[in-house]
């Protein structure tokens, strides 16, 4: 199926295994365990000698359908679903790294990812060096003999900096280092990191894969040899995706391509308007010619995506004025929803990191992030303009 069909077809069709009832919509299996024919089969299932469902901490048909669909979209051999995006990152680090190992990651990572790698994992002896997303030589210089992973997120949140996946893969693979890409912002519709040589892709399915702001979920996809390690951790530690959430995600993925394309084109229109607004000092969007990596983005992604960041004239109070005058945009940190959201990264998503980490990541007090949904662009502009015009 993977070879034969286009992405939008796979989004709708991949991963479905019908039950004896021949349901048309994917079945939701709400069961924690499974019944065996006899004691010998139970033993064979537990030991892994016989494939099949055992217990929903690590085997569930609805979760399996989600895993298969995402694997098909990413062009991955296998996929393991997790309870959230953060548990996908935790699981892959716990599965692939040991005390003494080292990770190189970008300074512009999602706030909780920075916290996990930079603060929590260090207590377990896994060190992370944070380097500029855009300087390939900085990644090469940060490599140590014990470096195990490159962890990158492109475009970055919220500044939409682009990492050159192929170039970083070349540097990493020369030294036997694995490359993990957080593909949350682009989804496989706009960018397929495995095609560019990355070893693993991870997702916060909470964002565009669901696409309607309903459930949390995550996933790690790539070579089966690697995802099996993640599965081994998940089986024991239990940060498992629920069957219900997997079912919601399957439904969300059916409209992934049309949403991403519509939201991206609205985001480009909004970014152009923001860029020309007298109260906006800088706009960050990979689809704008003014983006420092516009050419790289054009090569690596199908479009600029749905996230736009911008700085207003002034500082925190001016940024908050724009937020507080909005009546349509939702003041919330989620993204990838059909409803447009607006957030002040310095005091929300990036509020728990130190001011030094924030400065290194380029998150200023005047920065705002818009995750564009499916509303009319003119309505979004009018809403933002109320606060902007008061600056
Ligand atoms: C939201 C997000 C995460 C974390 O995902 P959760 O599902 O919220 O745990 C990781 N990376 C990026 C880029 C995100 O936007």
As a whole number of angstroms, the distance between CA 287 and CA 295 comes to 9
45 CA to centre of ligand 1 in angstroms: 33
Same-domain pairing of 151 and 229: yes
CB 202 within 8 A of CB 88: yes
Query: What is the largest distance, in Å, between two alpha-carbon atoms of the chain?
Result: 73
Task: Identify the sign of the CA torsion 123, 126, 129, 130.
Answer: negative
Same-domain pairing of 111 and 228: yes
Mean local confidence (pLDDT), 360-383: 95
**The pLDDT of residue 1 is above 70:** no
113 lines ligand 1 (CB under 6 A): yes
**Which residue's CA is the closest to the ligand 1 atom numbered 8?**
85
| Domain that residue 319 falls in | 256-388
Residue 2: predicted pLDDT: 60
Residue 356: predicted pLDDT: 85
Same-domain pairing of 145 and 263: no
Same-domain pairing of 108 and 15: yes
End residue of a domain, out of 253, 283, 310: 253
67 lines ligand 1 (CB under 6 A): no
> Which of the listed residues 116, 157, 209, 348 should we mutate to test ligand 1's pocket, taking the one with most ligand atoms within 8 A of CB?
157
* pLDDT 10s digits, 174-189: 999 999 999 999 999 9
* Helix-helix angle 256-275:377-388, to 10 degrees: 40
Same-domain pairing of 17 and 83: yes
239 CA to centre of ligand 1 in angstroms: 15
**The pLDDT of residue 3 is above 90:** no
Same-domain pairing of 33 and 18: yes
82 lines ligand 1 (CB under 6 A): no
Residue 354: predicted pLDDT: 85
The model carries a pTM of 0.95
Residue that has been written with the tokens 């080292």 in this structure = 102
DSSP for 315-336, please give it: SHHHHHHHHHT-SSSEE-S--S
Q: How far is CA 351 from CA 160, 186, 347, 369, in A?
A: 18, 24, 4, 14
Using DSSP's 3-state secondary structure scheme, residue 117 falls into helix
What percent of the chain has pLDDT above 90? Answer: 92
> Is residue 25 domain-resident?
yes
Of residues 284, 250, 249, the one with CA closest to residue 270? 284
Residue scoring higher pLDDT (13 or 352): 13
Same-domain pairing of 239 and 264: no
As a whole number of angstroms, the distance between CA 235 and CA 231 comes to 6
> Is residue 2 domain-resident?
no
> Is residue 1 domain-resident?
no
Same-domain pairing of 245 and 289: no
Same-domain pairing of 236 and 339: no
101 lines ligand 1 (CB under 6 A): no
As a whole number of angstroms, the distance between CA 120 and CA 115 comes to 7
CB 264 within 8 A of CB 305: yes
CB 314 within 8 A of CB 369: no
> Is residue 15 domain-resident?
yes
**The pLDDT of residue 323 is above 80:** yes
Total tally of structural domains belonging to the chain: 2
The alpha carbon torsion through 23, 67, 14, 200 (nearest 10 deg) reads 180
267 CA to centre of ligand 1 in angstroms: 20
DSSP state of 55: B
207 CA to centre of ligand 1 in angstroms: 7
22 CA to centre of ligand 1 in angstroms: 35
Any idea what the CATH number is for the domain that residue 111 is in? 3.40.640.10
> Is residue 203 domain-resident?
yes
Same-domain pairing of 283 and 226: no
CB 133 within 8 A of CB 167: no
Q: Which two tokens stand for residue 183?
A: 């593909």
**Which residue's CA is the closest to the ligand 1 atom numbered 4?**
85
Residue scoring higher pLDDT (353 or 237): 237
Of residues 363, 74, 368, 330, the one with CA closest to residue 199? 74
Same-domain pairing of 261 and 210: no
Same-domain pairing of 240 and 355: no
**The pLDDT of residue 172 is above 90:** yes
> Is residue 234 domain-resident?
yes
Using DSSP's 3-state secondary structure scheme, residue 178 falls into strand
Of residues 368, 206, 168, the one with CA closest to residue 271? 368
360 band by pLDDT with thresholds 50, 70 and 90: confident
End residue of a domain, out of 232, 253, 274: 253
Burial of 356 (0-12, 13-18, 19+ CB in 10 A): exposed
**The pLDDT of residue 353 is above 80:** no
What SS3 string covers 142-176? Answer: HCCCCEEEEEEECCCCCCCCCCCHHHHHHHHHHCC
337 lines ligand 1 (CB under 6 A): no
Residue 173: predicted pLDDT: 98
* pLDDT 10s digits, 53-98: 999 999 999 999 999 999 999 999 999 999 999 999 999 999 999 9
Any idea what the CATH number is for the domain that residue 372 is in? 3.90.1150.10
Residue 109: predicted pLDDT: 87
Give the ranges where the chain is alpha helix by DSSP (H).
7-13, 39-47, 61-74, 85-96, 111-115, 136-142, 165-174, 187-190, 224-237, 243-253, 256-275, 294-300, 316-324, 355-361, 377-388
End residue of a domain, out of 253, 268, 291: 253
260 CA to centre of ligand 1 in angstroms: 17
């Amino acid at each position: 199926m993977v070879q034969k069909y286009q992405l939008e077809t796979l989004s709708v069709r991949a991963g479905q295994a019908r039950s004896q009832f021949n349901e048309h919509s994917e079945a939701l299996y709400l069961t924690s365990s499974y019944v065996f024919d006899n004691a010998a089969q139970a033993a064979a299932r537990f030991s892994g000698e016989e494939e099949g469902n055992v217990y929903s901490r690590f085997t569930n048909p609805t979760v399996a359908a989600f895993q298969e669909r995402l694997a098909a979209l990413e062009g991955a051999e296998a996929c393991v679903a997790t309870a959230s995006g953060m548990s996908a990152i935790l699981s892959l680090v716990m599965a692939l790294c040991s005390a003494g190992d080292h990770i190189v990651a970008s300074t512009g990572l999602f706030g909780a990812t920075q916290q996990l790698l930079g603060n929590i994992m260090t207590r377990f002896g896994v060190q992370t060096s944070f380097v500029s997303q855009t300087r390939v030589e900085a990644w090469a210089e940060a490599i140590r003999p014990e470096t195990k992973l490159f962890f990158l997120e492109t475009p970055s949140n919220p500044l939409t900096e682009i990492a050159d996946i192929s170039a970083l893969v070349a540097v990493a693979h020369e030294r036997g280092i694995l490359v993990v890409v957080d593909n949350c912002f682009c989804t496989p519709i706009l960018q397929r990191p495995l095609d560019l040589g990355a070893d693993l892709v991870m997702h916060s399915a909470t964002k565009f894969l669901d696409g309607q702001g309903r459930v949390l979920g995550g996933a790690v996809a790539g070579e089966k040899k690697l995802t099996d390690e993640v599965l081994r951790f998940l089986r024991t530690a239990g940060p498992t995706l629920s069957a219900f959430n997997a079912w919601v995600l399957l439904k969300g993925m059916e409209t992934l391509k049309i949403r991403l394309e519509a939201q991206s084109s609205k985001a480009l229109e909004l970014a152009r308007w923001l860029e020309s607004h007298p109260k906006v000092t800088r706009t960050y969007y990979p689809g704008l010619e003014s983006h420092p990596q516009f050419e790289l983005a054009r090569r690596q992604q199908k479009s600029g995506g749905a996230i736009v960041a911008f700085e207003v004239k002034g500082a925190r109070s001016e940024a908050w004025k724009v937020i507080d005058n909005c009546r349509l945009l939702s003041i919330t940190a989620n993204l990838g929803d059909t409803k447009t959201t607006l957030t002040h990264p310095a005091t929300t998503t990036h509020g728990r990191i130190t001011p030094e980490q924030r400065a290194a990541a380029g998150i200023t007090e005047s920065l705002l992030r818009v995750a564009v949904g499916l509303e009319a662009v003119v309505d979004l502009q009018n809403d933002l303009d109320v606060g902007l015009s008061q600056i």
